[in-house]
Amino acid sequence: MPYFILRRLLVIIPMALIVVTITWGLIRLAPGNFYSGEKKLSPAVEANIRAKYGLDKPWYTQYAIMIKNIATGDFGTSLKYEGQSVNEIILRHLPYSATIGVLGYLLALAIGLTAGITAALKQNSSFDYGSMSLAMLGLSVPNFVLGPLLVLVFSFWLYWFPPARWGSPSAIVMPVVTLAAIYAAYIARLTRAGMLEVMRSDYIRTARAKGLDERTVLLRHAIRGGLIPVISFTGPALAALLAGTVVVERVFAIPGLGNIFIQSVLNRDEPLILGIVAFISLLIMVFNLVVDVSYGFLDPRIRYE
């Protein structure tokens, strides 16, 4: 097991390098510059800007400088937001995204698991049909519709929550619910499917045959296996949530990482794009590793060498 983890960790380094290099190349291919605006700059002014940010050097030199900086963990300074380092920006805005992301996912887990397990145990009951229809609805209503709808109901009809902006705990409720909806629906469906499959498997039949009561069968044996699809889903989902969700952040004016990522691309803010891409890919790779390791604990049939 430790050998497996070490091997996977070592793979992360070249993977991250490849991701950064491809991203760097793609940014270079995109027309336009961080400084281009509606008003065209005079050649002298443009030359000054290019010199100031080292853009006048040959591309291989720029690439070498970029890789050297990244190797030392320094993504440099944002081109758009003068004087702010990329690391500082990511660390400053991560907590906002992480707060609503983690809370949203916990809420989604609570709703999704309860609904999924119950639906599986009472297959073809009215609860099963009801909750799964609701899940279908949750999956099909995009969050840029759900968010404003929540604002309409809870801010302007009921006056319960402020319509946007970070600040009071009550301001977090609607973004978290908006985020949770789609994940809860997904988790509910995954859980139901996983549980249904497990409940029909041999080892559950064996457990029942040994005379275990239904409760023990469910909690000790079935859930562990039934949750594997949910766990696989959790890795990338949580990484994506931590990195921020553009729509929810924009609708509720939350200073999270997702909106900043999109803006950095629109702004052609190269160091910031590279920093966030590297950060997100790192998150995904680490979370996937954690997920893979956790399989071994959940399902005794899975072993790593």
Partner 1 sequence: MREHRRQFLTAVMGLALISGACAPKGSDKYFGKTVPPKDNVLHYISGSEPESLDPQISDGQPEARILMALYEGLVEYGPKDQQPIPALAKNWEISPKVDEFIFHIRDNGKWSDGTPITADDFVYSMRRGFDPDTASRTASLGTGIKYSEAFNGGQVFVKKGETYLLDKDFGGETKPPEPTFGPETALSRVLHSADRLTLDGDEKKRQKQIDGDPKLKAAVVGAEFVPVKAEDIGVEALDRYTLRITLRQSAPYFLGLLAHQFFRLVPKHVVSQFGRAWIRPEHIVTCGPFRIKTERPYDALIVEKDPNYWDAANVHLNGIEFYPIEENATQLNLYKAGSIEAFLNHTVLSSWVDEIKPYKDEYLNFPENATASYAINMTKPPFDNPKLRQAFVLAVDKDAVSDFRKVTKPLFGVTPTGTYPDFDAAMKKVGEELRQKSGQTPEQWAKQTKLFDPERARKLLSEAGYPVQQQGDGWACPTFPVENISLTFNTNENNKAIAEFVQAQWRRNLGITVPLRTMEFKTFLAERHTKQYVGFAQLLWSGDYMDPYTFLSLHYGKESAGDTGIDDPKFNAMLDEANAELDPQIRYEKLARAEYYLLDQAIVVPLTINATNWMKKPYVKGMYPNPGTLLPWKFVYIEQDPAKWDHDVDNIMVQSDPMVDEQLRTLTSTQTDKQLVASSK
Question: Of 150-209, which residues contact partner 1 (CB under 8 A)?
Answer: 151-152, 155-156, 162-166
Mark residues 211-230: x for contact with partner 1 by CB under 8 A, - for none: --------------------
Closest approach of Cβ 163 to partner 1, in Å?
4
Q: Which of 39, 200, 210, 301 binds partner 1 (CB under 8 A)?
A: 39
* Residue 114, number of CB atoms within 10 A of its CB: 15
d(CA 255, CA 98): 11
* Residue 83, number of CB atoms within 10 A of its CB: 7
Q: Two tokens at 47?
A: 């030359």
DSSP readout, 34-58?
TT--SSPPPHHHHHHHHHHTTTTS-
Q: Two tokens at 287?
A: 């979370």
Does residue 293 bind partner 1 (CB under 8 A)? no
Does residue 133 bind partner 1 (CB under 8 A)? no
Does residue 260 bind partner 1 (CB under 8 A)? yes
CB 178 within 8 A of CB 281: no
Closest approach of Cβ 256 to partner 1, in Å?
8
Does residue 80 bind partner 1 (CB under 8 A)? yes
Q: Which of 20, 27, 66, 89 binds partner 1 (CB under 8 A)?
A: 89
Does residue 252 bind partner 1 (CB under 8 A)? yes
Q: Which of 1, 9, 145, 219 binds partner 1 (CB under 8 A)?
A: 145
Q: Which of 4, 63, 81, 233 binds partner 1 (CB under 8 A)?
A: 81
| Identity of the amino acid at 91 | L
Closest approach of Cβ 217 to partner 1, in Å?
46
Does residue 42 bind partner 1 (CB under 8 A)? yes
Q: Is 85 helix (H, G, I), strand (E, B) or coil?
A: strand
Q: Which of 14, 40, 60, 215 binds partner 1 (CB under 8 A)?
A: 40
CB 287 within 8 A of CB 239: yes
d(CA 269, CA 79): 6
Helix (H) / strand (E) element for 33: namely none
What are the Cα distances from residue 57, in Å, to 53, 54, 62? 9, 6, 6
Q: Which residues bind partner 1 (CB under 8 A)?
A: 30-33, 35-45, 47-49, 51-53, 80-84, 89, 92-93, 144-145, 147-149, 151-152, 155-156, 162-166, 247, 250-253, 255, 259-260, 263, 266-268
